[in-house]
Chains A and B, each alone.
Chain A
Amino acid sequence: MLLSLSWLREFTPYEGTAEQLGDRLTMLGLELEDILHPYEAIRSIVVGHVLTCEAHPQSDHLHVCKVDVGQNEPLDIVCGAPNVAQGQKVPVALVGTVMPDGMVIKKAKLRGALSMGMICSERELGLTEDHSGIMVLPDTFIVGQSLIDQLDLDREVLDISVTPNRADCLSVLGLARETAHAFALPFSIPERPFHEDSAAPERIVPIDIQAPESCWLYAGRIVSGVKIGPSPMRIRHRLHAVGVRPISNIVDVTNYILFECGQPLHSFDLDKLEGGRIVVRHGRPGEKFTTLDGQERLLTANDLCICDAGRVVALAGVMGGLNTEITDASTNVFLESAVFRPATIRRTSRRLGLSSEASYRFERGIDQQASRWALDRACAMMAAMSGGHVQRGLSCSEPHPFVPVRIPFRPSRVDALLGEHVTPEFDEKTLTGLGCPVEKGEDAWVVTQPSWRPDLTREADLIEEVGRMYGLDTIAPVLPAVAQTLDCASAPESRFAFWSRIKRWGAGLGLNEVVNYSFVGHKDLDRLGLPQQGRISIMNPLSAEQDVLRTVLAPGLLHDLRNNLAQGAQGLRLFELANVFEADAVSETTARETGMLGILLYGSRYDTAWPQAAGDMEYADLKGVVEHLLRFLHLAASEYTTCEEHTFLQPCVCVRAQGRDVGVMGRVKPAVADVYLARKDVWLAELNLETLRELHDVAVVRFAQLPVYPPVRRDITIAAGCGLKVADIEAHVRDLHLPLLEDVTLVDCYIPQQTSDGDSVRNLTFRLTFRHQERTLKDAEVDKMREKVAESLQKVLKVTV
């Protein structure tokens, strides 16, 4: 809401500065966003008097003028405007002035004639769009004085952010009322003389409200014999100062009153209203209507329409129609002042994407008691500005009169909610000051809602008013004592705490945490070959890149990969904890949200070169990270088998822990990785945090007694064909159930040059660890056991030892 300080002062004698007012209003809940100085750019323009004006001898349209600007000598100024004439008072830009459009006025010679300045049009001054000629000022203006002072322009405009509950503050009047109360100043409304044309007969426009639940009040008056033209300078400049384009003496009045009183008005050309009557009804499906902006709109039964005898003439509260628009030829005006149900207006305005100053106010609530008063005020102004007459008779229908709410109010509840003792005297003073009649009782009072405060209906609303005026900032802070129940004490670790620990694990291990948007584009998921089924689409996405909720973390991580490679990264180790989303008919929200841990490894293993060995990350790096996590969570017995869970991974390895699937990992297929600019292998893991948490919650950590006797180790190297997995060999050895065999681990893997017949083998060295719990083992018995293992491997797995 743009509030002109000089406009405000018409209602309350506020003498302070704009800054002080802004600060005070801010602390009352009406936040100052900015202070604008709309006419700052023309501060140096002065009033001049055209002493002589002669045609330029070398030109058919230029004039050579002598202009008195209050200096010793009059200035020679060449002017091209058709309307310049001797004796006029005009705005003059002197040499050196910077105009609002950035042009600098210089001493110039125009076809041989010297020009020492410029006589300005309204557009050149940034006042209005008028560029038909120079601006001619009233004779009373003093030569040499500043133009903005002489025009008494609105120099300071406060931009105030008004919260949705304060409909009353969307007007100068409302903000003046608030200001007067805040600074204990009188508040009064200057009267506009209002004369009905008593000579003529009463003229009423019959009003038929067929949708009384949506149209609470419809009133109107006829102003006849108007002559359409520009509004007086003061009105135009004031509207301009608050960002409204002046149009005509009729439309400007409706806008002026809207800003001043908060009541949106609409003016119809009465002669175009078929049947000279108004019908208020809902739209009919399929009905079409062309609004003032020339757009044809398709109406629905939810829209409220203002109609004449035959057709729609306005979309109630949102925008008028072309068919009854005021034009230069209009002579009789029907001025509407109405109150509509906020939700109805909002629905139409949102559906059509048409938000206007009027709809904005209707959506928030109008002071219905003041509606007719605002109409009269507008009529008086319109008649005065257009030479018309206000016809006798008020056309009005009010199916839903305003009934103020009588609110029970307990002063003790103020203290109970604010935590500070506020005297009943302060409560009373505040509420009556805000316009609420107070009926005091012993403990409970009755406070009556003012018509301009639709937001005050409950005790809590009144307490907020008292708090606001008391100053929320003055309440002494107290730390509350939090009552905890025993149930809380034994509650399992929260999801947040578990995720938090995993994040600490990731960072501690040396991974970088990333956070990506939950939405991606359908095409990102398509690229990864993920199923269409089960995806959750956004109905109104901001862009096609964000039109579906991710079903895997991969797209985000790959996106980060691309971003970082573009910045020259050589190696990346990223991780992310976030939900993935899938449609789930059983869920209350229609979605199943699963927490996932995504890990991406790419490129150089180390950020630094020497003394770190050079090399790129490979499967073992990723698997090492995953195994580390499972150990961290006390999950034993992990299994790794190739699978085809995700088609964008090859190989794709399924990770199982304690018999349950916990996720997949693998290498992103080069064709996919290419799209993300990867030149090396991209290793990716996605682990299900819900499953990991469940497994971890039941994992029991028990201390194992430390062995007393030393272990004895024996290595065994075998040449295994490629089909034989390390895990199979280890399992075979374990399955021999040698009582003293404590552990079997691969300690070396060597792949010799391929043999000529294409058989590739791996030389695998396993370390067998033997230990006896009660004595030190002898070499001979250990050798015997190693021999047993070797024999079995040769015999069963057909490997060479």
Chain B
Amino acid sequence: MLSISREVRSLCCVSIPFPATAAVRGSGNIVMDLIAALEELVHELENGLSHASSLEELEVLRVNMLGRKGRIAGIMSALPALDPSERPAVGQKANSVKERCNALFDARKNALERAREAAAMQSFDATVPGRAPWSGTLHPDTLVMEDICRIFQGLGFDVASGPEVEIDHYNFEALNMPPEHPARDMQDTLYITDTVLMRTHTSPVQVRTMLARKPPVAVVVPGKVYRRDSDLTHTPMFHQIEGLMVGDGITMAHLRGTLTAFVRAVFGAGTSVRFRPSFFPFTEPSAEVDISCCMCGGKGHVNGAPCRVCKTTGWVEILGCGMVDPAVFEAVDYPADVSGFAFGMGVERVAMLKYGIGDLRMFFENDVRFLGQFAG
């Protein structure tokens, strides 16, 4: 198409060739005949264009009319035979007819091109399936764990890790849980030997970190933990994130600030936080942190029905925390007047609240229909 229009344009610029025939005749009648013939061509062209239904027919018409050996060129070839004084009138006429013809051609050609494109669009189907590349996903545990670590890294914490097979000393004793301490009941343990076990929490990494580094310390520890427990709401393996901050003048107010910032980052600015006194052997004072229920917005009811997530209390427990117990500092040989806070949370618990997952066991069944819902 482009080539056609280029040719049309070049035709318009071609200078009138030197007359080859009709050199002798030179009369006004001839001039009138030529002009009439030119005008007639316009009518003929209009007629022809209206019948041309394709770009191909149009091209034939164009060559016949405007081509190098076309009708206009034919008429123009009579020009040299005319009296020089008469030539301008015929020449001008010829040019204006040529321009007119070109314009008619272009208009018709555009119309036909538009029609052809429109026809092509008719058969285009935007709804055919895409050629889908593989779509990968991250496990919700990973998504939540990375999210949480990113938040704490933003607050200045480092990420640390430690072994999953642990010795009793780091898992219990150094955390103020000597043998036969009743708090050991809180964590049913899977043992390898009498003194080696699967860590029941990420807290032993606290101890390992403090033994390796002098204060100030600010770390979060994500990882797998193990309990001898399996039912609807417990799996023998799950994930925790532990946090520890030790330094000069670290207080409960700092713990509250840090955790409030964290909760808002994960669950939104409107989330309320509640600190409830509790007990952990390795912190004193200790607290459990509740957040306003994300299912019912803390109201306790969803559309008049009791909220299943918070059991109408409006609060859901999300983590445990406290000021590091002096016995723990003693176990890692830290000075007595140092202070710090520690906290720990279940990753699946956060994920269940965040995504509204009801069944903990789904995390480890790895059904791709489950995995595919959280993407990146």
Contact = CB atoms under 8 A, between A and B. Distances in A.
A687 B108 CA distance: 67
B276 A26 contact: yes
Interface in A550-568: 560, 563-564, 567
A589 B163 contact: yes
A29 B276 contact: yes
Contacts of B237: 517-519
Contacts of B372: 512
Given A460-B326, A464-B286, A479-B261, A512 B371 contact: yes
Contacts of A483: 216, 218, 247
B141 A536 contact: no
B15 to A, nearest CB: 44
Contacts of B287: 472
A353 to B, nearest CB: 13
A479 B156 CA distance: 11
A495 B180 contact: no
Contact of B185 (A28, A164, A512): A164
Given A416-B249, A536-B192, A589-B167, A516 B364 contact: yes
Contacts of B172: none
A508 B275 CA distance: 39
Interface stretch (B49-57, B67-75, B132-140): B132-140
A516 B237 CA distance: 9
A472 B276 contact: yes
Interface stretch (A291-299, A496-504, A634-642): A496-504
A485 B364 CA distance: 39
Interface in B209-253: 216, 218, 222, 224, 226, 228, 230, 235-237, 245, 247, 249-253
B290 to A, nearest CB: 9
Nearest to A611: B131
A497 B142 CA distance: 12
B165 A589 contact: yes
B7 interface: no
Nearest to A578: B224
Contacts of B190: 519, 538-542
Interface stretch (B34-42, B114-122, B277-285): B277-285
A417 interface: yes
B309 to A, nearest CB: 16
Contacts of A364: 182
Contacts of A721: none
Interface string B359-376: 000011111110110011
Contact of A563 (B161, B365, B375): B365
Contact of B129 (A363, A463, A542, A610): A610
Contacts of B136: 506-513, 573
Contacts of B141: 515
A612 B236 contact: no
A484 B285 contact: no
B291 interface: no
Nearest to A33: B311
A477 interface: yes
B245 A482 contact: yes
A468 B190 CA distance: 34
B164 interface: yes
A342 interface: yes
Given A417-B339, A593-B163, A510 B135 contact: yes
A590 interface: yes
Contacts of B364: 515-517
B146 interface: yes
A769 B235 CA distance: 57
A524 to B, nearest CB: 15
B253 A495 contact: no
Given A31-B276, A512-B368, A480 B161 contact: no
B278 A478 contact: no
Contacts of B107: none
A720 interface: no
B198 interface: yes
Contact of A419 (B132, B192, B226, B252): B252
Contact of B250 (A420, A463, A480, A516): A480
A608 B284 contact: no
B131 A612 contact: yes
B127 interface: no
Interface string B136-167: 11110110001001000001111111011111
Given A467-B277, A515-B139, A461 B155 contact: no
Contacts of A482: 155-157, 216, 218, 245, 247
- Provide the main secondary structure of the chain B interface: mixed
B252 A420 contact: yes
Interface residues of B, number: 91
A512 B141 CA distance: 13
Contacts of B253: 418-420, 475-478
Contacts of A519: 190, 236-237
A581 interface: yes
A728 interface: no
Contact of B149 (A475, A491, A496, A539): A496
A31 B278 contact: yes
Nearest to B194: A539
B156 A484 contact: yes
Contacts of A542: 190, 228, 230, 236
A248 interface: no
A537 interface: yes
A225 to B, nearest CB: 40
A148 B216 CA distance: 62
B196 interface: yes
A158 B126 CA distance: 63
A574 interface: yes
A720 B137 CA distance: 41
A446 to B, nearest CB: 18
A480 B275 contact: no
A27 B165 contact: no
A405 interface: no
B278 A477 contact: no
Contacts of A512: 136-137, 368, 371-372
Most chain B Cβ neighbours within 10 Å, of A479, A510, A512, A563? A512
Most chain B Cβ neighbours within 10 Å, of A363, A513, A539? A513
Contact of B163 (A28, A481, A591): A591
B323 interface: yes
Given A509-B134, A512-B137, A417 B276 contact: no
Nearest to A497: B159
A342 B261 contact: no
A468 B285 CA distance: 8
B236 A546 contact: yes
B134 A606 contact: yes
Contacts of B77: none
A39 to B, nearest CB: 22
B161 A495 contact: yes
Contacts of A506: 136
Given A417-B252, A515-B139, A536 B279 contact: no
Interface string A53-85: 000000000000000000000000000000000
B303 interface: no
A458 B132 CA distance: 65
Nearest to B256: A477
Most chain A Cβ neighbours within 10 Å, of B167, B252, B278, B366? B366
Given A163-B278, A538-B198, A572 B247 contact: no
A494 B223 CA distance: 13
Given A460-B325, A507-B376, A593 B164 contact: yes
Contacts of B196: 589-591
Given A480-B245, A509-B134, A606-B134, 15 more contacts: A164-B181, A417-B252, A460-B285, A475-B275, A478-B251, A478-B253, A478-B256, A485-B216, A510-B135, A519-B237, A539-B192, A573-B136, A589-B167, A591-B163, A591-B192
The 5 closest A-B pairs by CB, nearest first: A510-B134, A419-B251, A419-B253, A482-B156, A29-B277
5 contacts: A29-B277, A419-B252, A476-B256, A480-B254, A496-B149
